[in-house]
Amino acid sequence: LHLEEKHLVPETKEINGILMTKMISDNWDKIWNFQAKPDDLLIATYAKAGTTWTQEIVDMIQNDGDVQKCQRANTFDRHPFIEWTLPPPLNSGLDLANKMPSPRTLKTHLPAQLLPPSFWEEHSKIIYVARNAKDCLVSYYHFSRMNKMVPDPGTWEEYIETFKEGKVLWGSWYDHVKGWWDAKDKHRILYLFYEDMKEDPKREIQKILKFLEKEISEEILNKILYHTSFDIMKQNPMANYTTLPTSIMDHSISPFMRKGMPGDWKNHFTVAQNEEFDKDYKKKMSGSTLTFRTEI
Ligand code: A3P
């Protein structure tokens, strides 16, 4: 991968009111017309909700717990990130997806209303992972500090407002989790929660196994649990994003595998910020049956 500084200017441009990188927006027709297949598996999340973790779990399941096979490539090359667009000759998500033999496992952060319609038409299976707003915000804040491909978050105080207004890449967290929550009643979607995965990873992996119609031995299940634990993934260069040059992701500012704990928001929000956030949250989430745990 050879990215130069000039590629890293994180220009943004909206698609239907949703903030995207300019490269994604400029390539939107191709992304919207992406051809999904019935045997595709899509891992869909709001940014920082536990995407990489879920990708590792799914890859381990698909490879029957073979750690070596799961280290064949970086997470981002094993599972094409369909909308992610880079300047040629770098591989964009669409290029990787179109080159990949089936059955494919793909990744997206798109809100449900912007998902290429072929996924719905082909009835591809989708795993959606949601994470509580406050921990997502904290994680996204630190990620935006260390990742030069996304806009600078500004100060913590500024970022809280930016996040609440949904003026971040892939738009409003509130609309994202609600949009996919509604979509799950009409489509083949397994809707999971980061907090549940943390509380009882075995139980949640079993849900994924059932959804994928796959059976494995207790021994392999335990192997998957171990290999996808936070501490082990943090040490895994094929999963922790450390193979990217520091000009793209600077882990000395904040590591990609940062804390991996529900409730870390308490170390960031002041009492006043928290009250303000909760008040706004109630308004934005009113009328939805979707609920979150902010600690376990
Ligand atoms: P924190 O910044 O709160 O630590 P994504 O993959 O969607 O970008 O999400 C990244 C977040 O998931 C980070 O959260 C990261 O530490 C956490 N994460 C990654 N692997 C994990 C694991 N195995 N267990 C728990 N959390 C994990």
Ligand 1 centroid to Cα of residue 220, in Å, is: 23
Residue with tokens 């995965």: 197
Residue 18 to residue 31: CA distance in whole angstroms:
15
Say how many Å lie between the CA of residue 229 and the centre of ligand 1.
10
Task: Write out the chain's pLDDT in tens, 296 residues.
Answer: 455 555 556 899 999 999 999 999 999 999 999 999 999 999 999 999 999 999 999 999 999 999 999 999 999 999 999 999 998 888 899 999 999 999 999 999 999 999 999 999 999 999 999 999 999 999 999 999 999 999 999 999 999 999 999 999 999 999 999 999 999 999 999 999 999 999 999 999 999 999 999 999 999 999 999 999 999 999 999 999 999 999 999 999 999 999 999 999 999 999 999 999 999 999 999 999 999 999 99
Catalytic annotation on 109? Answer: yes
Are residues 160 and 277 in contact, defined by beta-carbon separation less than 8 angstroms?
yes
Cβ atoms 133, 124 nearer than 8 A: no
Q: Name the residue at shortest CA distance from atom 27 of ligand 1.
A: 260
pTM: 0.97
72-75 LR contacts (CB < 8 Å, sep 24+)? 72/238, 73/238, 74/238, 74/239, 74/241, 74/243, 75/238, 75/239, 75/241
Pocket test of ligand 1: the residue of 46, 52, 170 to mutate, having most ligand atoms within 8 Å of its CB, is 52
Read off the amino acid at residue 129.
Answer: V
CA of 128 to the centre of ligand 1 (A): 15
Report the atom number in ligand 1 closest to the C-alpha of 139: 2
Interface predicted TM-score (ipTM) of this complex, two decimals = 1.00
Buried b / exposed e along 215-237 (16+ C-beta atoms within 10 A): ebeeebbebbbebbeeeebeebe
CB-ligand 1 contact for 260 (6 Å cutoff): yes
User: Edge-to-edge, what's the strand order for the sheet holding 105-108?
Assistant: 105-108, 41-45, 125-130, 189-193
